[in-house]
Structure 1
Amino acid sequence: MKQKIIDSILLSCLIALLIACQPKKEEPAAEPALDKEQIKKEIQAKENQFAELYNAGEVRNIGYYADDATSFSQNKPPLVGKTAIVEFLKAGIDASSRGNKISFVTNEVFVSADGNQVVEIGYYKLTDSTSVAINTGNYMVLFEKRKGEYVVVRDMSASDMPLD
């Protein structure tokens, strides 16, 4: 009986020793840290490009939105799909709006851990040809990285101008 106990202890020690001597499994290399400031600059560049095209009346060339994007605005139903959004933007550009300029400022970005999604919080300003503010407000945009490039999948804005 004593020998069985000793054998059991020796066997347990041998198993523990074998487990302890196993080589460590290599941990996967850590993902490179995301550069939030660089992503913010990239998003601001997208906003600048959008404003440039919009101000030039070339909204048909805006590659800003994903084909399946949805845009939420005040006092109207959501616009679903890039085509509907671009048509809405085109309808807002007429002879009376020529010379108006829109600009955007990216205030904050919130980046997902893998960098595939970015929520942008920003400020917009629409001025007339004499640089008088027609509309100002804030917006929120959800970007998703598709084919290596950020595109808008959801956006919404709110004017901070008083109601007439």
Structure 2
Amino acid sequence: MKKLFSKALVVSSVLLLLISCKKEEPVTATIDINQIKKEIQAKENEFADTYNTGVVKEIGYFADGAITFPQNNQPVIGKEAIIEYLKSHVDSISKGRKISFTTTEVFPSKDGEQVVEIGYYKVLDSTNTVVNSGNYMTLFVKKDGKYYSLRDMSTSDLPN
């Protein structure tokens, strides 16, 4: 009887140990890609609307440590430097021209805290003729429930 009790105690101890060591799977957030795409497109629309006014200001688009890689230029590092760069180049867009951005794809991280956006842009003159167009890629990070651009770059469809 003692042997049977000892075996039962050993078996139940081993089972208890195995059960307690079971690795719990992390809870993954449900990602709504369509909602994220809408949020990112809204950020792009806000950016275009502000830029098209010809008055570049703090628009809540860039993260503090953002870097942008503008066409035919060196990288611009930091939110304030990017805003100053945009201010110095706003005349190339705003005088009778309008820029627009279209988000074509988003690739969110599993937790939705980072999103890579792929899209295209176009610049129209006052007669709605396309004077420039191209593609871009932006890495967004989420802070306080909102997405901010951390890295972005674009390329023109026009020949050099």
- What is the TM-score normalised by the length of structure 2? 0.86
Shift of 1:12: 3.8
Per chain length, whose mean CA-contact separation is higher, i.e. which structure has more relative contact order (CA < 8 Å, sep 6+)? 2
Alignment gaps of 5+ in structure 2: none
Let me know the Cα RMSD of the aligned residues: 2.7
Output the CA distance in 2 between the equivalents of 1:11 and 1:76. Answer: 77
Contact 1:53 1:61 in 2 (8 A): no
Give a deviation string over 1:2-48, Cα, whole Å, max 9, x none.
xxxx97776344321344368x6695783331111100110001001
1:16 aligns with 2:11: yes
Output the CA distance in 1 between the equivalents of 2:142 and 2:42. Answer: 15
1:88 aligns with 2:85: yes
- What is the TM-score normalised by the length of structure 1? 0.84
Paired residue type of 2:11? A
Contact 2:93 2:123 in 1 (8 A): no
Structure with max Cα Rg = 1
1:160 aligns with 2:150: no
| Divergent runs of 4+, >4 A | 6-10, 24-29
Number of the residue aligned with 2:42: 45
Alignment gaps of 5+ in structure 1: 1-5
Matches within 5 A, 1:132-143: 132-143=129-140
